[in-house]
Amino acid sequence: MNVHSDAPPAKDEKRRQILEAALELFSDYGFHGASMAKLAEKAGVPVGTIYRHFKGKEELIHALYVEMKRERLAATLEGYDPAMSLRARFELFWMNTYAYCVTHPRKFKFTEQYAFSPYLRDVTKAIQIDMSSELARFFGDGYAQGVFKSLPPQILSALISGPLNALVTRAIADIVTLDQTDQQSVMDACWDAITV
């Protein structure tokens, strides 16, 4: 236990400031549009400090991506209970994710930008490799109960996240607006897509 705990650990605090500034600048101006100098200024730290926390720009972007993925998963699982029915879990995941993305457009935009950026080699391969145990369980139960189509989980996953991401993108860009009923309908449509 830290006796002087009223002084927050400077190290992690700086790292946080840097990541926050990075999210803002990268989502608004892109990876190239945000220079390390601007980043340092926005974060309120000297440039050199960034390099003490991250090996370079690329690693910083990766680290931010990992954090975003983690946070998004946590949001997706908010209120999760293993005892919930398959359908209830589906609705929870879907609604949680949609709400999270629309509420945090910068986090969503950063992640999408990352996924499609040729900034880093072989990034796309990282898209689907990790699947949380809760989601794995969800798909496993669906197959076991004979509810899901017999397609590999990556494909079922694409049938859900595909429309969801597409619609969030359009919602953020103000091309379409989905009210509560629309969200429900789209969610139902996705359910139709993955079930027999």
Partner DNA sequence: TATGAATGAGTGTTCATTCAT
Partner DNA sequence: TATGAATGAACACTCATTCAT
The residues binding its own copies (CB under 8 A) are: 27-33, 109, 112-113, 115-119, 124-125, 127-129, 149, 151-152, 154-155, 158-159, 161-167, 169-170, 172-176, 178, 182, 185-186, 189-190, 192-194
Question: Could you give the angle at the alpha carbon of 98 between the alpha carbons of 58 and 15, nearest 5°?
Answer: 30
- Residue count (the chain): 196
Instruction: Return the H-helix or E-strand segment holding 64.
Output: helix 57-76
Count of other CB atoms within 10 angstroms of residue 156: 21
28 sits near DNA (criterion: CB under 7 A): no
- In the complex, what is the shortest distance from the CB of residue 186 to DNA, in angstroms, rounded to a whole number? 38
Closest by alpha carbon to 60, among 23, 29, 28? 23
Which residue, 79 or 146, has its beta carbon nearer to its own copies? 146
46-75: contacts with DNA (CB under 7 A): 46-49, 51-53, 56-58
By beta-carbon proximity to DNA, the closer residue of 43 and 171 is 43
Instruction: Provide the minimum distance between the beta carbon of 78 and its own copies in the complex, in angstroms, as a whole number.
Output: 23
Q: Considering only residues 36, 73, 131, 178, which one is a binding residue for DNA as defined by CB under 7 A? A: 36
108 contacts 168 by C-beta, under 8 angstroms: yes
CA distance 112 to 169: 9
74 contacts which partner out of its own copies, DNA, none, CB within 5 to 8 A by kind?
none
Asked if 182 contacts 164 with a C-beta cutoff of 8 angstroms, the reply is no
> Measured from the CB atom, is 34 or 68 closer to DNA?
34
Given 8, 28, 35, 170, the residue binding DNA (CB under 7 A): 35
Q: Specify the 3-state DSSP secondary structure of 157.
A: helix
**Phi, psi for residue 71 in degrees, rounded to 5:** -65, -40
Q: What is the binding site for DNA (CB under 7 A)? A: 10-11, 14, 32-38, 45-49, 51-53, 56-58
